[in-house]
Amino acid sequence: EEEDGCKAVENVVPACEIVAVEETEIDKKQCDSGKWQKMSKPHAFTVHYIKRARNHRWRCSEITFWCIDEQLCNQWIQALKELLDSQKSRPKRLLVYINPYGGKRQGKRIYEQKVAPLFNLASISADVVITEHANHAKDNLFEVNIYKYDGIVCVGGDGMFSEVMHGLIGRIQKDSGIDQNNPKTPLAQCSIRIGIIPAGSTDCICYATVGIIDPETSALHIIVGDCQPLDVSSIHHNNTFLKYSVSLLGYGFYGDILKDSEKKRWMGPMRYDFSGFKTFLSHQYYEGTVSFQPAKGTVGSPRDKESCRTGCHICRQTKQLEEQQKNYGLEHKEVEDEWKVIKGKFLAINAVNMSCACPRSPKGLSPAAHLADGSADLILVRKCSRFNFLRYLVRHTNQDDQFDFPFVDVYRVKRFQFTSKHLEDNESDIKDVGKKRFGQFCSDHPACCCNLANSTWNCDGETLDSSAVEVRVHCQLVKLFARGIEIYKDEAAYNLSSNELLS
């Protein structure tokens, strides 16, 4: 049927990559042309399938099969439809939240023009909610019957994903009678998958789990029912739950960029570059104490050369190890593990649950971090010169190792804590009767050179004000409609067929 019929081998489509099968109406014109001219009226059906393009992009392609025997044609359609129905991981009903104001304000258009037609083609029914205010999606997830859906889709950026994730995790804990405020309680896993249609400013969760920021590709990953588990960190202070994080939890540099950029939302995605430049020039450092338990049960290290890809063996092995430990009742072993304590002056404290790869930095903040290994990479950037900090930042954009600096340390952790020096001073002041309260002591000596300000946390792009936090990684707490970044045999190949993929 295709013009390059000689390359027939390349047209093998695995059943799991078929989007839909439809009967095709043949009009008279088509019928009268070519080889069908002299035969009786042919019948036809069209198979819509996934075609891989450059840079992890997926496209929906189609091929039409012709046949003179109507019964045979119907048998084919029937058989293919049954094949699709037998794939139980494919979603049938979705709940979609669209943030009309995210990124370049294109969320609604992107969904209507690029995603809805594909969902229709794949016979997926979607209930769509266009959000009217921040937290609309999150609150809504506590009200609706979520269990009738196979997945929740968010159209927006990392902030919108974060909102939907908080709603979903919170709802599941509520329904399971789990108190999120207790940092030690194991959380109930969410079996309802989340889909991300990227329409935000950074979209790093989409980029790091799919390999490209492209609404059509993401829609196709949802349609075929992909599943990528994701680690989630919980953040607490004084037995109070604050937030969850999946990508970056950053204090200092990234917290300050975010805080400044929030005032400049009108600038769109450009605001981050503007605030980034400004924050870089301010070169503010922060004093405090970081303590953590190095992750022992994990197989990899943050300095590995290999990164997390589809079917990652490090994520798989770590999960197996964790399950073994659970069976032996060793999950509370961490209590005895040693804490490492680091006091210092930091330009940035970044904890990342995944690489945080995004178009700005295609290898991300921690190139070897894993999506689902139950650990986070804790990156400490100590006070250094502006020039050195710039060298560090530039290495996020090239092939050089950003951890190979004397002022940068990286650790793989399952838990950590941070307390700013202010809070420590304040706590000791309270013990010290007669001394002044927190926030006042430096106004007493305005000429002093001690660093006055606290920073804020950048929690997946949302600001979080807390000068002390306790963070725990929950292995594979949520699941996405994604499969991680695929490995191609020949990354440069333009039209890859699925049989060129390494399994």
Ligand X SMILES: Nc1ncnc2c1ncn2[C@@H]1O[C@H](COP(=O)(O)OP(=O)(O)OP(=O)(O)O)[C@@H](O)[C@H]1O
Ligand Y SMILES: CCCCCCCCCCCCC/C=C/[C@@H](O)[C@H](CO)NC(=O)CCCCCCCCCCCCCCC
Under the binding rule (CB under 6 A), the answer on residue 157 touching ligand X is yes
If one counts every other C-beta atom within 10 angstroms of the C-beta of residue 397, the result is 12
196: left (phi over 0), alpha (psi -120 to 50) or beta: beta
Task: Give the position of tokens 């010169």.
Answer: 385
Q: Which residue is nearest to ligand X (CB)?
A: 157
* Contact partner, 308, from ligand Y, Ca ion, ligand X, none, Cβ < 5-8 Å per class: none
> Cα(167)–Cα(135) distance, rounded to whole angstroms?
9
394/430 with CB nearer ligand Y: 394
* Among Ca ion, ligand X, ligand Y, none, partner that 353 touches (CB below 5 to 8 angstroms by kind): Ca ion
Binder of residue 280, out of Ca ion, ligand Y, ligand X, none (CB less than 5 to 8 A by kind): ligand Y
Structure token digits, residue 392: 């560090």
Which among 396, 397, 315, 304 is positioned nearest to 353, based on CA atoms?
315
CA distance 168 to 147: 11
Catalytic residue (one of 158, 214, 373, 377):
158
Token duo for residue 81: 């439809």
For 122, residues 6+ apart whose C-beta sits below 8 A from its C-beta are 19, 20, 90, 223
Indicate which of ligand X, Ca ion, ligand Y, none lies near residue 390 (CB less than 5 to 8 Å, by partner kind): ligand Y
Count of beta carbons in the 10 Å neighbourhood of residue 260: 17
Segment interacting with ligand Y, rule: CB under 6 A, options 121-129, 400-408, 413-421, 457-465? 457-465
Angle, vertex CA 333, rays to CA 328 and CA 335, nearest 5: 160
* Site membership for ligand Y, residue 192 (CB under 6 A): no
Q: Are 304 and 368 in contact (CB under 8 A)?
A: yes
Q: How far is the CB of 198 from Ca ion (least distance, A)?
A: 21
Among 43, 90, 166, 370, contact with Ca ion (rule: CB under 5 A): 370
Cα–Cα distance measured from residue 202 to residue 185, given in angstroms and rounded to the nearest whole number: 32
In the complex, minimum distance from the CB of residue 461 to ligand X, in angstroms, rounded to a whole number: 4
Q: How far apart are CA 193 and CA 228, in angstroms?
A: 9
Among residues 167, 195, 200, 288, which is the contact residue for ligand X, using CB under 6 A?
200
Which of 195, 241, 239, 197 minimizes the C-alpha distance to 215? 197
Which CA distances in Å does 7 have to 13, 47, 497? 13, 18, 11
For residue 354, the tally of other CB atoms under 10 A from its CB is 27
Q: Which residue's CB comes closest to ligand Y?
A: 461
Q: Among this protein's residues, is 444 annotated catalytic?
A: no
- 171 makes contact with Ca ion (CB under 5 A): no
Check residue 361 and report its DSSP letter: B
Question: Interface mask (CB under 6 A) for ligand X, residues 432-471, using x and -?
Answer: -----------------------------xx---------
- Which alpha helices (DSSP H) does 267-333 contain, by range? 271-282, 313-327
27 touches ligand X by CB under 6 A:
no
| 156 lines the binding site for ligand X (CB under 6 A) | yes
| 396 touching ligand Y, by CB under 6 A | yes
Q: Which does 231 bind (CB under 5 to 8 A by kind): Ca ion, ligand X, ligand Y, none?
A: Ca ion
313-320, long-range: CB < 8 A, 24+ apart: 314/370, 314/373, 315/229, 315/370, 315/371, 315/372, 315/373, 318/370, 318/372, 318/373, 318/374, 318/375, 318/475, 319/229, 319/372, 319/373, 319/374, 319/475, 319/476
Determine if 102 is a binding residue for ligand X (CB under 6 A).
yes
Give the binding range for ligand Y (CB under 6 A) out of 165-173, 410-418, 429-437, 453-461: 453-461
Contacted by 397, from ligand X, Ca ion, ligand Y, none: CB < 5 to 8 Å by type: ligand Y
Number of residues in contact with ligand X, rule: CB under 6 A?
23
Using DSSP bridges, classify how beta strands 151-156 and 93-98 pair: parallel, antiparallel or unpaired. Answer: parallel
Which residues in the 346-365 window bind Ca ion by CB under 5 A? 353
What type of residue sits at position 106? Q
- The verdict on 214 binding ligand X (CB under 6 A) reads no
Among ligand Y, ligand X, Ca ion, none, the one that 394 touches (CB under a kind-dependent 5 to 8 A) is: ligand Y
129 binds ligand Y (CB under 6 A): no
Read off φ and ψ for residue 457, nearest 5 degrees: -90, 145
Is residue 466 a contact point for Ca ion (CB under 5 A)? no
Assess 254 for contact with ligand Y (CB under 6 A). yes
Nearest distance in Å: CB 373, Ca ion: 5
Starting from the edge strand earliest in sequence, which strands make up the sheet with 58-67, in order? Answer: 18-24, 43-52, 58-67
Q: Of residues 210-239, which lie at the interface with Ca ion (CB under 5 A)? A: 231
As given in the structure block, the two tokens for residue 283 are 């070169």
Question: Which partner in ligand Y, Ca ion, ligand X, none is near 361 (CB below 5 to 8 A by kind)?
Answer: ligand Y
For ligand Y, which residue of 461, 469, 477, 480 counts as binding (CB under 6 A)? 461
For ligand X, which residue of 36, 101, 274, 441 counts as binding (CB under 6 A)?
101
CB nearer Ca ion, residue 150 or residue 231: 231
Active site residues: 158
List of residues contacting Ca ion (CB under 5 A)? 231, 353, 370, 373
List of residues contacting ligand X (CB under 6 A)? 99-103, 131-136, 156-160, 163, 200-203, 461-462
List of residues contacting ligand Y (CB under 6 A)? 157-158, 202, 204, 247-248, 254, 257-258, 272-273, 276-277, 280, 356, 358, 360-361, 365, 390, 393-394, 396-397, 458, 460-461
